[in-house]
Structure 1
């Protein structure tokens, strides 16, 4: 009797209990793996979106000084110095600096340094300081780095705010950490150095944007510059310092998306320009975009060619809830457009009349290298060959992207 019971128990174990627990274990492992992959995919999408937001934010910050080129009266003060017409220039400085300061809530302090006369003006907490002469400003390490750089701006790692003009408008108790952007002001045509705009940015905006990376407050977020200094970190003690070697090894880009030896999942991204360029002569744009976005489309479609064909493509490229911006001017006044796609996707359409009030800013951005146009210049002509240049462009539209006439 016992032997029969033992056999039944063994059969029960072999055919029911053990298979049941094995199946539960396998299902658990598979489910866990699927959940982890799903979480990783969500995290990757999140880092892409947050990175895009950060990229746009820093681009906006470093481009702020270009608004100076849109104010000819204020720009004239930089060109001619402050002493020429004291009353008029003081009014321009007061109005220009206050307008500049109020453009962004996170600007804590702003400095205008005018090289002609070595005059320095600061504004802190919406209060403007009196003029001070700063002949030694160009000898400061950060400014010397800016002057020797091919770029028109540099960004200082976070540091305690400095009282630039040693004025009473900043209380001695002020110890806020700020990120400073120094921007070189130059004459667009002659490249003559005219002055420097320094902007102290409160780190709250960085923290707000970077917090989008945090989902369960278990992640560590690091935002660093090209020199390895920490611009923002979820661990505040790291801000303004270089990344520790041990931490740098753990977040190596080569481990991005993988588990490190310590069991951490590392997601990293370098902020840069376009990661994919499509040649419409060699590839089908709609197919490539569909493959890159898993058929979803892109967040923003900006049409700048002014081609009937590319305008008609935009409804098929934008994602559901996305935005289409029409910049280019097409030759035809009326173009067939699939508005049903726009309605199905609930997409927005915005239009921009190109060139409007943007010549000074565009010229300044190109002149100081902020926008690199070398890649689209296919032909160059001397000034005395101007007529030849226009004739060539008209007769060779297939070969010319942009032609440049050299003035000197």
Structure 2
């Protein structure tokens, strides 16, 4: 028509393709990419903060465990005796008992690489390397070395040193020269709890690699670096062992804004320490970039497909629109199984075919996304699973028990089960446990004694159910039962008996153990209270009560006017040792 510019259908369709498909699609790709970056960064920050918080709690718990662990060794009677008297003054039997206890202690923790004792009494030092004990060596100038002199002067109970390669301080043969394991030394100053007398030092070298499992949650992502830094800005842990012991370079952490740096302050016993996670933005946004490029390639494919479609539609445009419209309305009504294909070979026929292909692709994409979502959930559940490595000794006991069952000896199996329960409970030394678990430990011990003596034992245990979920230091009451067997029952079987009572009175947990039979004089009672008449088990109970509760707990001895021997223990309910444990009350 004259006076009006001519524009063909093909040109109109190309313009529509550009305005309504190509341009919005690429703008959408750009928008999605930028939005994904922001979303990924926010999600990663939230997840990283949560993982850092969990790792912080794990590190603090692990450090607290490793700081408190040596106290279970110090509380062993044979260890206390050697620490007080020195290595040279003890008999071969006592020294051997000490070495066996130390070897067992070291073997229970594979993350302990080396132990080193210093005995102030005779100024000797002793090295334990992977459960092997060296001969003692003179160490007259031990307190002149760092950090022992300063620790002794300030009377610090423990100190964490900067990690370094394992050092063979005593030049003993059991430590190979090729061992360059990086360790974190923890020094403990050992004193007599009752007198406060300085007894020596214990240095525990912990393998730095043991931190890896605690930091697994924050180190599993690619492009992530995790650093553990102490209060002196020294790197305590890094996957790059060359960095350990060096001063942290702040400028490299957030260089040119290419990294995301998160910090988590640690509490005691790791006060002033920091857990730092450095994430590379380049690595973090890699998936988003790959997705964007995939969408661009897909968009180019859509452009090519749309071009072909425009060419086809512009050539053949004769298919009835009504039929196609009705089918489209059916789809709008929710009938996704409508077939848009037609026998016609015109423009509408081709359009219907392409629309059908698009509908199929949508269904395919929906099914694929649903499958990917399910796989992602399953993967997340698998990652949250953990494995437990049972102790070799318990496996050995279970194996022996299985042999006993196959041999038909159920009594031996029952004894092995009781022994296994006692050993598992004993591993909780110096931990707080419900009274119910302590009573269960006593039951297992009495069962073994019944098998030993082959008779009914005159033992009565009366503990109120209302206090059986309160927490007390583990192995607090069992030594009282053991003392009865050792000092009364074995010497006066027919004339002895034992009663253990437990109750709550005036805000106190009160446990009284009465052993009728063999007795002690008032003078012996006085010596026992002063720790000068043996009584290692009783002294151990008194010291542990003092460690947990100070002067708020009471430990009383009585000779029952010559009729036997009595012990009374009082623990304040409001203290940690009296906290209630949620659980089922023991009958």
TM-score (normalised: structure 2): 0.45
* Cα gap change, 1:52 to 1:129, in 2 (>3 Å): same
Quick one: distance in 2 between partners of 1:328 and 1:122?
38
Quick one: distance in 1 between partners of 2:258 and 2:250?
18
2:72 aligned to 61, 67, 72, which one? 67
CA contact (8 A) 1:69 1:364 kept: no
Higher relative contact order (CA 8 A, sep 6+): 1
Residue 80 of structure 1 deviates from its aligned partner by: 2.7
Quick one: distance in 1 between partners of 2:39 and 2:238?
30
1:197 aligns with 2:202: yes
1:268 aligned to 255, 263, 266, which one? 263
2:546 aligned to 342, 354, 363, which one? 363
Quick one: distance in 1 between partners of 2:184 and 2:22?
63
1:185-209 Cα distance to aligned partner (Å, 9 max, x none): 1122332211101111122212332
Task: Report the counterpart of residue 286 of structure 1 in structure 2.
Answer: none
CA contact (8 A) 2:67 2:186 kept: yes
1:8-23 mapped onto 2 (5 Å cutoff): 17-23=22-28
Task: Report the counterpart of residue 354 of structure 1 in structure 2.
Answer: 472
Task: Report the counterpart of residue 508 of structure 2 in structure 1.
Answer: none
1:75-132 Cα distance to aligned partner (Å, 9 max, x none): 1221233333332431232122212211210212111111111121111132211111
CA contact (8 A) 2:60 2:268 kept: no
Quick one: distance in 1 between partners of 2:86 and 2:217?
45
Moved more, 14-23 or 205-214: 14-23
1:242 aligned to 237, 241, 247, which one? 247
Quick one: distance in 2 between partners of 1:270 and 1:151?
23
1:247-271 Cα distance to aligned partner (Å, 9 max, x none): 4xx47xxxxxxxx752311122122
1:159-198 mapped onto 2 (5 Å cutoff): 159-198=164-203
Task: Report the counterpart of residue 40 of structure 1 in structure 2.
Answer: 45
3-state SS, counterpart of residue 110 of structure 1 = strand
CA contact (8 A) 2:82 2:90 kept: no
1:224 aligns with 2:342: no
Quick one: distance in 1 between partners of 2:82 and 2:464?
45
Residue 137 of structure 1 deviates from its aligned partner by: 0.9
CA contact (8 A) 1:111 1:120 kept: yes
Residue 364 of structure 1 deviates from its aligned partner by: 3.9
CA contact (8 A) 1:228 1:242 kept: yes
* Cα gap change, 1:14 to 1:181, in 2 (>3 Å): same
CA contact (8 A) 1:69 1:361 kept: no
3-state SS, counterpart of residue 130 of structure 1 = coil
1:236-385 mapped onto 2 (5 Å cutoff): 236-247=241-252, 250=253, 261-272=256-267, 327=434, 333=465, 353-357=471-475, 359=541, 360-361=543-544, 363-364=546-547
Which sections of structure 1, spanning at least 5 residues, go unmatched? 252-259, 275-324, 336-349, 368-372, 378-396, 403-408
Residue 14 of structure 1 deviates from its aligned partner by: 5.3
Which sections of structure 2, spanning at least 5 residues, go unmatched? 270-431, 437-462, 477-540, 553-571, 576-587
Residue 25 of structure 1 deviates from its aligned partner by: 2.8
2:129 aligned to 120, 124, 133, which one? 124
Quick one: distance in 2 between partners of 1:89 and 1:59?
30
CA contact (8 A) 1:66 1:364 kept: no
Quick one: distance in 2 between partners of 1:67 and 1:362?
14
Quick one: distance in 2 between partners of 1:190 and 1:209?
39
Quick one: distance in 1 between partners of 2:100 and 2:433?
34
CA contact (8 A) 2:78 2:98 kept: no
More helix by share: 2
Aligned residues: 298
3-state SS, counterpart of residue 213 of structure 1 = helix
